[in-house]
Amino acid sequence: MLPFKTLIRTDKSLKLPVYQQIANRLIGLIQEGILKPGSFLPGSRVLALQLDLHRKTVIAAYEELISQDWLEAVPRKGMMVATNLPVIRPRSFRKVLQPYGEATAFSFHTPPAAPVMAPYPDASMPLVINDGFPDVRLAPLTDWVRECRSVIESARYHKLLMYGEAAGTTALRKEMVKYLSNTRGLNITADHVMITRGAQMAIYLAAAMIIKPGDYVIVGSPNYFFADLCFEQLGARLLRVPVDGEGIDVDVIETLCSQKKIRMLYLITHHHHPTTVTLSAARRMKLLEIIRKYKLPVIEDDYDYDFHYSSAPILPLASADHGGNVIYIGSFTKSLGLSIRIGFMIAPASFVAASAELRRLMDLRGDNLAEQALANLLADGTIARHLKKSNKIYRERRDLLCELLQQRLGKAVTFTPPAGGMAIWLRFSPKISLIKLAEKARGKGLRMSSGEQYHYGGKSVNGLRFGFASLNNRELRAAVAILESILDTAF
C-alpha cells in the first residue's frame, strides 16, 4: 500500500472543503502515474484512519471522484481507478514516471575514473588472469562458518550486533595487537588499531585526514592506481618517483622534500604494486632518516605481508623508529580468501580516534559479526595455520608459473620471480600489443588485463600482473598455453 499519509496532506484552515482537497490530490496522483488505471484504493475506513479524518469525509471524496469518472466502485472489492479516464485519456500509462532519469537537476563532483581491470570469471569464461588474488577454494570456510555460528548463538550476540565502535570491535583490536607484534614486530596497544572495511578504506581515511586540495603527495611510478585516484579525488598534486629493482628511489624523495612542502608520502615497501619489488634495506634506513628529519607523514601500504616465500619478510617501516610519522595499513581480505572486507590501520592513538570520527560520517561501525569471528580465529590459531598452508601452495604455484613462462613464452616476456605476494610482474616485448593480446586471449576463453591501468599517470610499461595464487596447476598451464598459441601465430 502506498504511504497515503505522506502523499495526501490536508489543511482545515483553507476555504476548500477537506473532502475536495483529498479528491484533488488523488486526481493529481492519477495524473502523475503514481495511481495507475485498474489499481485499487484503500477502503474508506483504512484511509480515514491513515489521514486521521472522519470516515464520512473520505466517503465524500470517493463519491466526488466517482461522479467525475476518476474512480469506479467495484462490488465486494472497493474503489478502483477508472481504466477509461477523462481529460488525460490520450496519455499513455505504459510509460511510468521516472524521476530518476539519465540527467540530474543539480551539479555534482565526478571522481576520477578507475582504469578497467581484468574482469572476474563467469560461467562462460572461468579462466582469468587477475591482479593477484587468493584462491577462494582454499579459504577456511568451515572454520569461518563455525565461528560466525558461535557468535550468533552466544548470549552476548544482541549486544555485539547492536553496538560497536567506529574504530572496530575491542576483541579484534586486542587480537590485532598480539598478531602484529608477533608477525611484524609492532610495539602497539589497542588504541593504535583501527579496523576498516578493507585496506582501500584505510588508505582513503588516512589520506583524507592529511591531504588538503593543492598539497604535494609523493607516490611511486608506476604505483597502485587506486591509491593515486584516491589522492587525486582529495585534491592532491602527485609527484611521481621512479621505482626500480630496489624499490622507490629514496634519493629523489629527499630532493623533493628539500625543494617543496611535501604533505605525504605513499609507498608499498613489500611486494610493490604493480612491480612486486621490495624496498632494499639500505633505502629503508635512509628513508627513515628522511621521515624523521622532515616529519614526513607516510602511508605504508603492506597489503600482502603475510605471503612470503623465499625468506623471512623484512619488517615494515612501522616497526622502526619513525617518530610517529608512519601510518601502517594492511588487510585480512587476502589472508582469508573470502569476500570479507576487513582491513586495518595502525597509527598514533590521537590519529586513530580522529579517523574513527571521520569514518563514522559514512559508516557508523564495522561488521561486528565478521570482526568478532576473525578475533576468535586469530586467537585459536586458525589464521596462522591457514596462512602456513596457503603459503606452501602459493609458492608451488609461483614456481610452476615461472617455469612455464621461461619455457613457453621465452623472449616475449621478462620477469623476476617475486619473493612473495600473489602475482608476477610480467613485462612484454615492445613488439607485442597487450591490448591486442588481451582481445585474442578472450576469444580463446582467457580473460586478462590489457595492462593499461598499470601506467596510470605515467608512461606505458607494456606489462601486467599475472596473478598465480588463484589458479591451480592445471589452470596455470592452460593460461600459459593460450598465450603461447597467440604469440606464436600473431606476433
- pLDDT of 233: 94
For residue 115, name the pLDDT band (cuts at 50, 70, 90).
Answer: low
The torsion of the CA quartet 391, 394, 396, 398, rounded to 10 degrees, works out to: -130
Angle in degrees, CA 126, 273, 252, rounded to 5: 160
Can you spell out the DSSP letters for 227-292? Answer: HHHHHHHTTPEEEEEEEETTEE-HHHHHHHHHHS-EEEEEE--SS-TTT-----HHHHHHHHHHHH
199 in Cβ contact with 302 (< 8 Å):
no
pLDDT in the model for residue 432: 93
- Three cell numbers written together for 139: 579459504
Read off the DSSP letter of residue 195: E
Around 202, how many Cα atoms within 13 Å sit in the side-chain half-sphere?
A: 30
CB 266 within 8 A of CB 246: no
Question: In the chain, which residues fall in CATH 3.40.640.10?
Answer: 139-380
Residue 237: strand pairing partners:
216
The pLDDT of 471-488, averaged and rounded, is: 95
Beta strands in 391-439 (DSSP E): 413-414, 423-428
pLDDT of residue 123 exceeding 50, the answer is: yes
Mean pLDDT of 139-167: 84
Per-residue pLDDT at 91: 46
The whole-number average pLDDT for the span 165-170 is: 90
How far apart are the C-alpha atoms of 190 and 171, rounded to whole Å?
Answer: 9
What contacts 124, CB < 8 A, 6 or more positions away? none
26, 61 contact by CB (below 8 A): yes
Confidence (pLDDT) at 41: 92
- pLDDT(320) > 70: yes
**In angstroms, rounded to a whole number, what is the distance separating the alpha carbons of residues 224 and 423?**
14
Torsions phi, psi for 64 (to 5 deg) = -65, -40
Measuring CA to CA, which residue among 320, 326, 272 is closest to residue 296?
326
Higher per-residue confidence, 214 vs 152? 214
Q: Looking at residues 255-266, what average pLDDT do you find?
A: 97
Q: With contact defined as beta carbons under 8 Å apart, do 203 and 212 qualify?
A: no
For 139-380, the fitting CATH number among 1.10.760.10, 1.10.10.10, 3.20.10.10, 3.40.640.10 is: 3.40.640.10
pLDDT at residue number 114: 66
User: What would the pLDDT profile of 179-210 be if each residue is shown by its tens digit?
Assistant: 999 999 999 999 999 999 999 999 999 999 99
pLDDT at 415 over 50: yes
Share of residues in the chain with pLDDT > 90 (%): 68
CA dihedral for 408, 412, 416, 418, sign (positive or negative): negative
| pLDDT at residue 53 in the model | 93
Do 4 and 61 contact (CB within 8 A), yes or no?
A: no
C-alpha span between 280 and 245 (Å, rounded): 9
Specify the amino acid at residue 394: Y
Who's near 83: CB < 8 A, 6+ residues apart?
37, 38, 72
Exposure pattern of 455-489 as b/e (b: 16+ CB <10 Å)? bbbbeebbbbbbbbbbbeeebbeebbebbbebbee
pLDDT classification of 311: cutoffs 50, 70, 90? confident
Average pLDDT, the chain: 89
Q: What pLDDT does residue 100 have?
A: 58
Measured distance CA(191)–CA(206) in Å, rounded = 16
pLDDT in tens, 9-42: 898 888 899 999 999 999 988 888 888 888 999 9
CATH 1.10.10.10 domain range(s) in the chain: 4-81
pLDDT confidence tier of residue 155, bands split at 50, 70 and 90: confident
Does position 316 have pLDDT exceeding 50, yes or no? yes
Share of the chain above pLDDT 70, in %: 92
Contacts of 107-112 spanning 24+ positions with Cβ under 8 A: 111/229, 111/233, 112/229, 112/232, 112/233
At residue 46 the predicted structure's pLDDT band, cuts being 50, 70 and 90, is very high
Residue carrying C-alpha cell 503514481: 34
CA dihedral 44, 47, 50, 53 (to 10 degrees): -50
Name residue, grid cell 562462460.
Answer: 124
Query: Quick count: other Cβ atoms within 10 Å of Cβ 78?
Result: 16
DSSP element (H, E) containing 387: helix 382-404
Distance CA 41, CA 4 (A): 10
Give me the pLDDT at residue 97, please.
Answer: 53
Architecture of domain 127-133+385-490: Alpha-Beta Complex (3.90)
pLDDT at 417 over 60: yes
Out of 212-216, 239-243, 366-370, least confident range: 366-370
**Do residues 480 and 408 lie in contact, with contact meaning Cβ atoms separated by under 8 Å?**
yes
- Assigned C-alpha cell, 475: 589452470
Residue 462 cell numbers, joined: 607494456
294 closest CA partner among 268, 267, 264: 264
Give tens-digit pLDDT for 329-342: 999 988 887 778 89
Return all residues near 277 (Cβ < 8 A) that are at least 6 apart. 243, 244, 245, 246, 247, 271, 416, 425
pLDDT at residue 314 in the model: 84
Which residue matches cell numbers 624523521?
292
Q: Does domain 4-81 have CATH number 3.60.70.12?
A: no
User: Which residues of the chain does CATH 3.90.1150.10 include?
Assistant: 127-133+385-490
Give the CA dihedral 84, 88, 92, 98, nearest 10 degrees.
-130
List pLDDT tens digits, range 53-102: 999 999 999 999 998 888 999 998 899 999 887 544 444 445 555 665 66
431 in Cβ contact with 391 (< 8 Å) = no
